[in-house]
């Protein structure tokens, strides 16, 4: 198994272009939202507004967790040192909101 940093060193040494890693920020820049991802975001916005109108806190937490998870690809577009940190922060906060929604709904 080869790690990515070895590939980067080889690329610098040999000057050859290696295939792009699908998890790299450059690959995220090329990727666009699929139609179903956009539709799911619109549905989540409707659920968020319904939760806001009915003052249902667990539903608000659940839809906010989905939004934060959906925003992660856009955070990766900001650049390597800051974008990956922000994407990981959003991922962790979305997991915390999801667990908080479960806790509030059942306890």
Query: What's the pLDDT tens digit per position in 30-87?
Result: 556 667 777 888 888 899 999 999 999 999 999 999 988 888 878 888 877 888 899 9
Looking at the structure, tell me whether residues 52 and 98 fall in a common domain. yes
- Evaluated on CA atoms 12, 15, 16, 19, the torsion sign reads positive
Total number of domains constituting the chain: 2
For the question of whether the overall pTM of this predicted structure is more than 0.85, the answer is no
Type and span of the H or E element at 43: helix 35-54
- The boundaries of the domain holding residue 82 are 32-106
38 with 69, same domain: the answer is yes
Same domain, 22 and 36: no
For the residues of 43-92, what is the DSSP string, one character each? HHHHHHHHHHHHT-HHHHHHHHHHHHHHHHHHHHTT-HHHHHHHHHHHHH
Under a CB-based contact definition with an 8 Å cutoff, are residues 80 and 54 in contact?
no
Phi-psi region of 17 (alpha: psi -120 to 50; beta: other; left: phi over 0): beta
């Amino acid at each position: 198994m080869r790690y990515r940093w070895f590939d980067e060193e080889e690329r610098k040494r040999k000057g050859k272009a290696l295939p792009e890693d699908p998890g790299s920020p450059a690959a995220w820049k090329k990727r666009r939202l699929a139609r179903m991802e956009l539709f799911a975001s619109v549905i989540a916005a409707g659920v968020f507004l319904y939760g806001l109108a009915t003052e249902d806190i667990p539903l608000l937490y659940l839809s906010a967790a989905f939004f934060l998870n959906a925003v992660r690809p856009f955070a990766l577009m900001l650049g390597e040192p800051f974008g990956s940190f922000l994407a990981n922060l959003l991922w962790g906060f979305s997991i915390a909101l999801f667990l908080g929604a479960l806790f509030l709904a059942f306890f």
